[in-house]
């Protein structure tokens, strides 16, 4: 009996159980594809120990097609890596810009500057695409006004509160060579470094 014959004989037998199995199989396939995309994306993000993560990025003076391509590539990487922000230094580019997502909309800030910050300081855990599974408590301003330019060089200004404010502060830190490890308390930093050192040793072999 061929596979085709077997399928033909049972065409009329498909029921809820078969449909549920097919849905579960499809969901498992999508999850596997998403995990693969995430791994591939993270392999292109510089990880703790890379010197570029400690560099202060240079101002962007040229707004051209190359910059727009970089922004598109970084935005795709951010989504594939399941992040909400990605700074240029995290992909080895020492230029002052980062991409981010806010309310389902992608954004970019070139030469960003926080011109005002306030609100009640908030202490919350943060993770980072360059630090694996490490999460540490970081205190941030809950309200910021941040100004800069878009990928074409046009001036832009955002007023953010809550999580979006935290995201842009985190990404701006990257452009100054600052990591969340530098902004957390000593005990959390020690614990995070204990997790990161084995990865650092493996990456240098």
Structural domain spans, the chain: 44-203
Cα–Cα distance between 85 and 34 in angstroms, integer? 18
Task: Specify the pLDDT at position 24.
Answer: 78
CATH number for region 44-203: 3.90.45.10
Distances (CA, A) of 86 to 1, 71, 203: 55, 10, 21
Report which of residues 9 and 99 the model is more confident about.
99
8 A C-beta contact, residue 114 and residue 98: no
Pairing of strands 122-127, 135-140: antiparallel
Tokens of 36: 């693969």
Confidence band for 26, pLDDT divided at 50, 70 and 90 = confident
Task: Specify the pLDDT at position 172.
Answer: 98
Q: What is the pLDDT of residues 31-46, one digit of tens each?
A: 788 888 888 888 999 9
| Mean pLDDT on 146-162 | 98
Confidence band for 1, pLDDT divided at 50, 70 and 90 = very low
The pTM of this model reads 0.83
Strands, E assignment, the chain: 85-87, 97-102, 105-118, 122-127, 135-140, 143-149, 155-161
Residue 10 has pLDDT above 80, yes or no: no
Looking at the annotation, which residues are catalytic? 171
Query: What mean pLDDT value characterizes the chain?
Result: 90
């Amino acid at each position: 009996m061929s596979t085709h014959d077997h399928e033909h004989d049972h065409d009329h037998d498909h029921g809820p159980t078969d449909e549920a199995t097919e849905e579960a199989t499809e969901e498992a396939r999508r999850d596997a594809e998403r995990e693969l995309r995430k791994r591939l994306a993270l392999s292109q993000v510089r990880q703790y120990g890379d010197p570029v993560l400690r560099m202060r990025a240079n101002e962007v003076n040229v707004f051209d097609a190359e910059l727009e391509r970089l922004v598109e590539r970084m935005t795709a990487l951010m989504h594939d890596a399941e992040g909400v922000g990605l700074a240029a230094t995290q992909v080895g580019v020492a230029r002052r810009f980062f991409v981010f997502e806010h309310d389902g909309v992608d954004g970019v800030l070139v030469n960003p500057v926080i011109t005002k910050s306030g609100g009640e300081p908030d202490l919350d855990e943060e993770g980072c695409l360059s630090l694996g599974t490490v999460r540490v408590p970081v205190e941030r301003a809950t309200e910021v006004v941040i100004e800069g330019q878009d990928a074409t060089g046009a001036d832009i200004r955002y007023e953010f509160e809550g999580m979006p404010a935290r995201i842009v502060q985190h990404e701006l830190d990257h452009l100054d060579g600052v990591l969340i490890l530098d902004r957390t308390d000593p005990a959390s930093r020690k614990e995070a470094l204990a997790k990161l050192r084995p990865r650092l040793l493996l990456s240098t072999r």
